[in-house]
Amino acid sequence: MSEPDTRGRRVVLWMYASAVAVSGLFGYVLGIIVYGDGGGPAGPLVEGSGAAYGSVGPVTFQLNPVNLGLFGVVSVGTLLGVGLLAIVYASERADA
């Protein structure tokens, strides 16, 4: 069961990678559309017209496309990554 095994993993890893990539893209575009790339037309999530800031625990960052994209990649990557590790672990236990 060596060669055939890989394909299931490959698809799952592709799913993981595309989910992370989409979240990054989502955050990036969110920065453009909602926060106006640091100052343009903006929705109700923005106070005032200047740059907006958000924080996760101790880390504070400006809400611009790059930072929001990064936020998407890191948060979704971690969340789904933990799930993926659990799946790998469970598979090893069950199919061993």
Partner 1 sequence: MASSSLVLTVLMGVLLVAVAASLARLEDWRSYTPLSDVGGALGERTEHGHEEKPGGLVRWFTTVDHKDIGILYGVYGAIAFVWGGLAVLLMRIELAAPATNVIGPSLYNGLMTSHGITMLFLFGTPMIAAFGNYFIPLLIGADDMAFPRINAIAFWLLPPGALLVWSGFLLPGVATAQTSWTMYTPLSIQMSSPAIDMMLLGLHLTGVSATMGAVNFIATIFTERGDDVGWPSLDIFSWTMLTQSGLILFAFPLLGSALVMLLLDRNFGTTFFTVAGGDPILWQHLFWFFGHPEVYILVLPPMGLVSLILPKFSGRKLFGFKFVVYSTLAIGVLSFGVWAHHMFTTGIDPRLRASFMAVSLAIAIPSAVKVFNWITTMWNGKLRLTAPMLFCIGFVQNFIIGGVTGIFLAAIPVDLILHDTYYVVGHFHFIVYGAIGFALFAGTYYWFPMVTGRMYQKRFAHAHFWLGLVGSNLTFLAMLWLGYGGMPRRYATYLPQFATAHQIATAGAFLIAISTLLWVWNMVVSWKEGAKVDTADPWDLEETGQLTNDWEWYEQQRDTPVPATDGGEPDDGQSAD
Give residue 88's identity as a one-letter amino acid code.
V
- Assess contact for 69 and 32: CB atoms under 8 A: no
Closest to partner 1 by CB, 58 vs 75, is 75
- Assess contact for 20 and 80: CB atoms under 8 A: yes
**Measured from the CB of residue 89, what is the shortest distance to partner 1 in angstroms?**
10
**Measured from the CB of residue 33, what is the shortest distance to partner 1 in angstroms?**
5
Binding site for partner 1 (CB under 8 A): 1, 4-5, 7-9, 11-12, 15, 18-19, 22, 26, 29-30, 33-34, 41-45, 79-80, 83-84, 86-88, 90-91, 94-95
69: closest CA among 17, 14, 15, 32? 32
